[in-house]
Structure 1
Amino acid sequence: MRKAQFAAVFSLAFFALAGGCLTIAGHGFTTSSKRGHWSVFVPAPQAYVMAAIMFVLSLLGVVWLLQQARAPHRVWLMAAAGYAGTAFLLTRAWAHWLH
């Protein structure tokens, strides 16, 4: 069960990070009704709140993973740098691809 927990939290952290980066890169996101009859574009100011929520969710997952691994402080620093770098690169790549 422990491997499944790690895989689930890692997936949550990764996809929340990807969603936050995609929201920022696209300067918003589109949402639709349950049946898909209509859609609404959520512009940048409101979408950035959603991106912030997704980044916090992702960071909570990463912190849990590091705590469970009993990582030393230098690993926490490397993880923080890697997280920030990944977020920056994903956002830049998707911004270039979307526009």
Structure 2
Amino acid sequence: MSNFEKIINSEKPVLIDFFATWCGPCKMLTPVLKEVKDSLGDRISIIKIDVDKNQQLASKYQVRGVPTMILYQQGKQLWRQSGALSKEEIIKIIIDKSNK
């Protein structure tokens, strides 16, 4: 099992942010995700993955555009979206999807 698979098999929700250093919307999303983490604390893990440095992983998970956020819990994909969202939208999605 890869490190990535261990991470997404966590009991608590894990939000993966596939990003690129050259991507404008990705840069806008970084402080938003920090605020999400500050708001939710230990209830969530947020992992950033640079698609340029992790091309195989991005390909395996069919990440075609950045930013792409994917929410996992216990190895299951609960939600996925490309593009930036507001802090409120992301928190609502995490709470809605992970409490099922």
TM-score (norm 2): 0.29
More helix as a share of residues: 1
TM-score (norm 1): 0.29
Please say which structure displays the higher CA radius of gyration: 1
More strand as a share of residues: 2
